[in-house]
Chain A
């Protein structure tokens, strides 16, 4: 392995209003290595990439690039490219209706005219040398996603690239396509390109990477050689082990005994997005789905709520056979669902806090029974007070609230429907610690009052604090179910990471 350093980032800081996105992060990339950048969501991976490529200005720190004898400040992605830093994003940002050659060269011609012949010849050579199965004249849209991804990489590599950033390149590829991509990555590595590889898939990291840098909560956890860091250790590093504050909240006694009654039961439930699985929850029980992102935990709860079209399975609510094929069915059977992506699936941004709180109850009551203005005001004020939502008034549009308060509004929306079973997918993501604890306490209180709750969080300690049963998922399959004494951080992480030590 060559040891020539091509990129150094030292003491990088980036602050957003109220959030330390990156604090004093170091990162070093050597020539001809594949360097995985790992961390949970919100750990700061994307921010670090965006600082490096000039999408965000950094607040402190220093970036040095091989061949330039002074620290550089990158102002824009174009400038990053001129330093030899290219990025290929998760979503393909090329034009599917142009040819492969056009996509590789568009926007890069120096003069006014375009020499089509030369362009096609050059791209043909490049595709051949990288072993990419595409022809220059082929429409990009007719290639498979993997090939499109590879064309994007070829385009990036052709611009005298020293540093190639691959941001979640494999998330929409199947196993064979991933192998093709890896072959290309190894080839580029042999040519001396330094590759930064961002992914959520642990196996893939071990398949191609040389080095791993782990971030957590905007801070550097460490840089490791792949052979020194087994998979379980990596998961530990990513999740963090702050076992100390586990005892803050009193563990709630699991009611799960033989005499407990299941509120919801599913057998072989599957949706367009999830594989068949069995699931049940008792009255007053708090359980959780855990697993890394992309493990299928969100898809499973979406299937329960009918958010994705159901494709099979039998469902019993309160002992009776029911059919849940759309969210309204679930709502009518007393199920509520707080979605993972608040912005996309939760808030109605332009509407007031009041409208956002009363929306689900209104829908359950039906279109012909509108909640009167006075009643809506009363409901909104009640929950603004109960959940301590910080808003100027109930008339304020929800989009002007902070993330944590928006989340409380959505929580209020579901509590107002008085659900028997509430699904909370990442209710504490992007929320400050104080609010996090409040939400956890609320979950336990509601369960004591008899509500069944499924809680999903990327933070295992949070799940351990609230859940009496954890369902562990990996690669879209349930791989374990942990209760009682098995509910320890080590045990959960081992089950998440898989058998190998």
Chain B
């Protein structure tokens, strides 16, 4: 039984999120096929852009998808989650705005400097979390609770209570679309971060190390891996993800509001990791699963709004669907389903023989 369960974890991990996404799409097809219509329209700044529910889903899920990738790494290495991503995102956004304001004009180079500085600042805050987790062995939830509660206050100290505006075509190019390109820029940001992480995993053995540390830190250490270092690296990468997401968030609105920037995103990010079939207790992970998870969550929200569900009720309906997805992906249901699948595929007696051998 155990064997079946684990050996199916290759594509099996992505089965539930893919099915969930498929059902959401089919549901919308029957409900209202115009949900999928994509049109060209001219936006406020005079550019022609693609518009439609589907584009809006993929666009609005960008921050969540990016943070979910980082969250996956921290989860895999540390067996716990960072709940301060939203609050640190607010700090990160505040740093970005402060740097741009300090430099006077908004140019491509000042934005790049802002990005680098805000990235560094976020990494420092994430290393604070990482040190508590990796060096002092504090449970991630508790360690990150500190910045979760005080992060937005720090963001407030950086910029005061104002909601500073950033008016520049460069800003709207980042937050919305670049003139001449009809696809929203945040989508490219997801691809960029995804590509970056893909390259890191392709050209280093970080993925193997991270999984080893997450599964058995003791054994990893005896094989020469430094678990503390690997955990810190996961927090650094999460920091990069958070700063990119926060910049998108700021540029989308053209303003910084430390109270609402990336608010409540930590729970959605954890949820995305879970929906993606990743074990929240650490170990094996698939980034693509978490990205799918992020899009499922956004698709669900957009579908509910398209059905004219009152905003107050959206969260309740969301909860119901998420319960179903999470239970369907639970080990108990999964092993029942795999057993059923095996019986259908290979017939009773043969199957029994196979199990005897293993």
Q: Which A residues contact B (CB, under 8 angstroms)? A: 305, 307, 326-328, 331, 337, 339, 344-351, 355, 359-360, 362-364, 367-371, 392, 395-397, 399-400, 413
- Known contacts A327-B222, A327-B224, A399-B6; can you find 9 more A-B pairs with CB under 8 A? A327-B223, A328-B225, A345-B222, A348-B211, A360-B224, A369-B205, A370-B203, A371-B205, A396-B7
B: number of interface residues (CB 8 Å)? 29
Which 9 pairs from chain A and chain B are nearest by CB?
Answer: A328-B224, A400-B3, A363-B224, A370-B205, A397-B6, A331-B224, A327-B224, A348-B215, A348-B212
Which residues of B (328-343) have their CB < 8 Å from a CB of A? none
Q: Whole-angstrom distance between the alpha carbons of A370 and B206 in the complex? A: 9
Nearest residue (CB) in B for A368 is B204
Q: Whole-angstrom distance between the alpha carbons of A429 and B32 in the complex? A: 64
Q: Whole-angstrom distance between the alpha carbons of A328 and B224 in the complex? A: 4
Q: Whole-angstrom distance between the alpha carbons of A347 and B216 in the complex? A: 8
For B53-86 the 0/1 string (1 means CB < 8 A from A) is: 0000000000000000000000000000000000
| The residue from A359, A369, A395, A397 contacting B223, defined by CB atoms under 8 A apart | A359
For B188-204 the 0/1 string (1 means CB < 8 A from A) is: 00000000000000111
Closest CB in chain A relative to B210 CB, distance in Å: 11
B209 proximal to A (CB < 8 A): yes
| The residue from B204, B216, B224 contacting A348, defined by CB atoms under 8 A apart | B216
* List of B residues within 8 angstroms of A344 by Cβ: 216, 218-219
* List of A residues within 8 angstroms of B222 by Cβ: 305, 307, 327, 337, 339, 345-346
Whether the Cβ atoms of A350 and B224 lie closer than 8 Å is no
Whether the Cβ atoms of A359 and B7 lie closer than 8 Å is no
B220 proximal to A (CB < 8 A): yes
Whether the Cβ atoms of A350 and B283 lie closer than 8 Å is yes
Q: Whole-angstrom distance between the alpha carbons of A138 and B209 in the complex? A: 45
* List of A residues within 8 angstroms of B284 by Cβ: 350-351
Give 23 pairs: A residue, B residue, CB < 8 Å, sorted on A: A305-B222, A307-B222, A326-B224, A327-B224, A328-B226, A339-B219, A346-B219, A348-B215, A349-B215, A349-B216, A350-B284, A351-B212, A355-B208, A355-B211, A360-B223, A363-B209, A363-B224, A368-B203, A392-B7, A395-B7, A396-B7, A400-B2, A400-B3
Q: Whole-angstrom distance between the alpha carbons of A377 and B7 in the complex? A: 17
Q: Whole-angstrom distance between the alpha carbons of A344 and B220 in the complex? A: 10
B221 proximal to A (CB < 8 A): yes
Closest CB in chain A relative to B230 CB, distance in Å: 9
For B1-26 the 0/1 string (1 means CB < 8 A from A) is: 01100110110000000000000000
Whether the Cβ atoms of A359 and B6 lie closer than 8 Å is no
B37 proximal to A (CB < 8 A): no
* List of B residues within 8 angstroms of A345 by Cβ: 218-219, 222
For B2, B212, B223, the residue with the greatest tally of chain A CB atoms inside 10 Å of its CB is B223
* List of B residues within 8 angstroms of A331 by Cβ: 223-224
Asked, given contacts A348-B216, A351-B284, A400-B358, whether A362 binds B2 with beta carbons under 8 Å apart, the answer is no
Which residues of B (279-324) have their CB < 8 Å from a CB of A? 283-284
| The residue from A367, A395, A413 contacting B204, defined by CB atoms under 8 A apart | A367
Whether the Cβ atoms of B215 and A351 lie closer than 8 Å is yes
* List of B residues within 8 angstroms of A371 by Cβ: 205
For B204, B208, B215, B221, the residue with the greatest tally of chain A CB atoms inside 10 Å of its CB is B208
Whether the Cβ atoms of A350 and B215 lie closer than 8 Å is yes
* List of B residues within 8 angstroms of A305 by Cβ: 222
Whether the Cβ atoms of B223 and A363 lie closer than 8 Å is yes
* List of B residues within 8 angstroms of A370 by Cβ: 202-205, 208
* List of B residues within 8 angstroms of A364 by Cβ: 224
* List of B residues within 8 angstroms of A400 by Cβ: 2-3, 6-7, 358
Nearest residue (CB) in A for B220 is A348
Closest CB in chain B relative to A427 CB, distance in Å: 15
Q: Whole-angstrom distance between the alpha carbons of A363 and B223 in the complex? A: 7
Asked, given contacts A327-B223, A400-B7, whether A367 binds B218 with beta carbons under 8 Å apart, the answer is no
For A346, A347, A348, A400, the residue with the greatest tally of chain B CB atoms inside 10 Å of its CB is A348
* List of B residues within 8 angstroms of A339 by Cβ: 219, 222
Whether the Cβ atoms of A350 and B211 lie closer than 8 Å is yes
Closest CB in chain A relative to B88 CB, distance in Å: 26
* List of A residues within 8 angstroms of B226 by Cβ: 326, 328
Nearest residue (CB) in A for B233 is A367
For A344, A345, A371, A396, the residue with the greatest tally of chain B CB atoms inside 10 Å of its CB is A345
Q: Whole-angstrom distance between the alpha carbons of A175 and B289 in the complex? A: 55
* List of A residues within 8 angstroms of B224 by Cβ: 326-328, 331, 360, 363-364
Nearest residue (CB) in A for B282 is A350
| The residue from A346, A350, A367 contacting B6, defined by CB atoms under 8 A apart | A350
Nearest residue (CB) in B for A361 is B223
Q: Whole-angstrom distance between the alpha carbons of A397 and B222 in the complex? A: 20
Q: Whole-angstrom distance between the alpha carbons of A368 and B204 in the complex? A: 5
* List of B residues within 8 angstroms of A328 by Cβ: 224-226
* List of A residues within 8 angstroms of B211 by Cβ: 348, 350-351, 355
Closest CB in chain B relative to A390 CB, distance in Å: 9
Closest CB in chain B relative to A255 CB, distance in Å: 29
Closest CB in chain A relative to B218 CB, distance in Å: 5
Asked, given contacts A351-B211, A400-B358, whether A363 binds B204 with beta carbons under 8 Å apart, the answer is no
Whether the Cβ atoms of A367 and B283 lie closer than 8 Å is no
Q: Whole-angstrom distance between the alpha carbons of A385 and B196 in the complex? A: 37
Closest CB in chain B relative to A340 CB, distance in Å: 11
Whether the Cβ atoms of A367 and B205 lie closer than 8 Å is yes
| The residue from A326, A347, A399 contacting B219, defined by CB atoms under 8 A apart | A347
* List of B residues within 8 angstroms of A347 by Cβ: 216, 219
For B6, B204, B221, the residue with the greatest tally of chain A CB atoms inside 10 Å of its CB is B6
* List of B residues within 8 angstroms of A362 by Cβ: 205, 208
Nearest residue (CB) in B for A339 is B222
Nearest residue (CB) in B for A362 is B205
